[in-house]
Amino acid sequence: MNKPVEPLAPGAARCPGPSTAEIIHADGDHPPAHLTEQSYQFIGDADIPFSRYTSRAFHELEKEKLWLKVWQWACRVDDIPAAGDYFIYEITDKSVIIVRTESGEIKAYPNACLHRGTQLKPAGSAGRSRQLRCPFHGFTWSLEGALTEVPCRWDFPHISDDSFRLPELRVDTWGGFVFINFDQDAAPLAEHLGVLPKHFANWDLSAKFTAKHVRKLLPANWKACLEAFLESYHVLETHPQGVLTVGDANSQYDIYGDTVSRFVHLVGYPSPHLKESFSQQQLLDALMGEGVVEGIADGATKLRVPEGWTARQVFAEHLQGLFGKAYGKDFSHLSISETIDAIEYCLVPNTCLFPSLLFPMVYRFRPNGNDPDSCIFDLLFMQPVPDSGVRPEPAEMVELDFEQSFHDVPGFDPGLATIYDQDTGNLIGQQRGFKSSTKPGQTLGNYQEVRLRQLHQTIDKFLARD
């Protein structure tokens, strides 16, 4: 008599076939241990209410309890390299001046005059200034926040220099990013970063420069936009052109505490959805022909897979040489996975970071002002500073409106532009569907969409605080 099959515990099911960790181990080149150490736990299967994406009341709650309490990436250190450099960061209806002082310290102030509230610097601006002077009446502060000038000071005997210092926000840096926090009682940034410093120990983001910066308006709630990039489950339907060269259903998903999550998404390995068998040469030809990521397609070079090698090995070696020549660096120390796989970390609430040579991206998703139905998406390509030590200037930002395509960005790889258009093209239908549905919420997969659930659970913890 056959024994009945025991049902799997919730979240225990995995895609049949080799796992991401097994495939990376098979590369045989000793990747960092954390890359294949799995950190998944089942954290529930209840539906996520659509109202979290559409409700004005929920948006207002996030403004008060999330955005005013959480560490958030505001700019790059490179945006304010010299004394007097400033950068304006905006989140919902808040505006912040981030400035480099004469001593080289980075400070952050609310972008508002203490006299009658006028913004000291224009929204969305950046530049250099010897002081912070209100354009309305001329109240002036030093870069260090000290009051230096009050026109007709005789009429203000009720203020003092000490009481009229610019209030400071919490500010800290990691990996070349400047983080701010409105909450003076927030835990240190290091605590919020969790495992990131350890996992990025050999991938110094401060040693990279912004080679490309695209900012695009997206027609959906910021959480829905972020979530579109937290899972590989969508690849089969949204990116069918890529299934020959990416493992999607067997991607690895990890969560680390409340604030960090990760997926490891294989490149150079066919989707488990495909039933056919492919030679390693077919896989390599597909990789070289697709232009998987910017600047990689190389039609002039016909690479061959030597006997005993894999497409992943050949492709990684090729990219290390290609990028090494382009950026004047030696990348031969990188494992195959660190070279070609999409390894994406999410730092709650809204930042995605890739420690990968082939995927040099950083994402940020913010509410578009006070509109819960739209989002500001920042896409940065972070490339290594050459071994010469000469740091290139950060690229000028290219702005795209709702209807514009990534193909409109000068010099953007066409294959990659199509991928981003596909990713963002689903969003308006999703936001409208939230409002059209008679079912009150979305039903998530236990494993492939666990990062989405972690995001909402962490947001709820912020919303529950006093």
CATH of the domain at 337: 3.90.380
Rounded to two decimals, the pTM is: 0.95
How far is the C-alpha of 172 from the C-alpha of 75, rounded, in Å?
A: 11
Residues 156, 224, single domain; the answer is no
> Residue 9: inside a domain, yes or no?
no
Residues 97, 246, single domain; the answer is no
Residues 398, 445, single domain; the answer is yes
Residues 127, 257, single domain; the answer is no
List the Cα angle 48/54/57 in 5-degree steps.
Answer: 100
> Residue 237: inside a domain, yes or no?
yes
Residues 412, 379, single domain; the answer is yes
> Residue 341: inside a domain, yes or no?
yes
Cα distances (angstroms) measured from residue 129 to each of 75, 101, 180? 17, 10, 21
At 90, which CATH number? 2.102.10.10
> Residue 10: inside a domain, yes or no?
no
How far is the C-alpha of 458 from the C-alpha of 444, rounded, in Å?
A: 16
Residues 39, 76, single domain; the answer is no
Residues 174, 234, single domain; the answer is no
Give me the residue label for tokens 């939230």: 434
User: Is residue 338 classed as helix, strand or coil in its secondary structure?
Assistant: helix
50-55, Cβ contacts within 8 angstroms, sequence gap of 24 or more: 50/434, 50/435, 50/437, 50/440, 50/441, 50/442, 51/440, 52/221, 52/223, 52/456, 53/220, 53/221, 53/223, 53/224, 53/372, 53/431, 53/434, 54/221, 54/372, 54/373, 54/431, 54/434, 54/435, 55/372
List the Cα angle 91/422/383 in 5-degree steps.
Answer: 65
Residues 177, 214, single domain; the answer is no
**Would you list the DSSP string of 9-30?**
PTT----SS--HHHHHHHT-S-
How far is the C-alpha of 285 from the C-alpha of 298, rounded, in Å?
A: 10
Contact status, residue 143 vs residue 127, Cβ threshold 8 Å: no
Give me the residue label for tokens 């999330």: 66
Full domain range(s) for residue 258: 33-50+207-463
Residues 235, 147, single domain; the answer is no
Kind of pairing between the strands at 126-128 and 132-133: unpaired
Residues 97, 211, single domain; the answer is no
The count of domains in the chain is: 2
> Residue 167: inside a domain, yes or no?
yes
Q: Please report, in tens digits, the pLDDT of each residue of the chain (466 residues total).
A: 556 557 789 999 999 999 999 999 999 998 999 999 999 999 999 999 999 999 999 999 999 999 999 999 999 999 999 999 999 999 999 999 999 999 999 999 999 999 999 999 999 999 999 999 999 999 999 999 999 999 999 999 999 999 999 999 999 999 999 999 999 999 999 999 999 999 999 999 999 999 999 999 999 999 999 999 999 999 999 999 999 999 999 999 999 999 999 999 999 999 999 999 999 999 999 999 854 444 444 444 589 999 999 999 999 999 999 999 999 999 999 999 999 999 999 999 999 999 999 999 999 999 999 999 999 999 999 999 988 888 999 999 999 999 999 999 999 999 999 999 999 999 999 999 999 999 999 999 999 999 999 999 999 999 999 8
Structure token pair of residue 112: 């508002």
How far is the C-alpha of 225 from the C-alpha of 346, rounded, in Å?
A: 13
How far is the C-alpha of 180 from the C-alpha of 108, rounded, in Å?
A: 7
- Taking each continuous run of H as one helix and of E as one strand, the counts in the chain are 14, 20
List the Cα angle 21/24/26 in 5-degree steps.
Answer: 110
Residues 88, 215, single domain; the answer is no
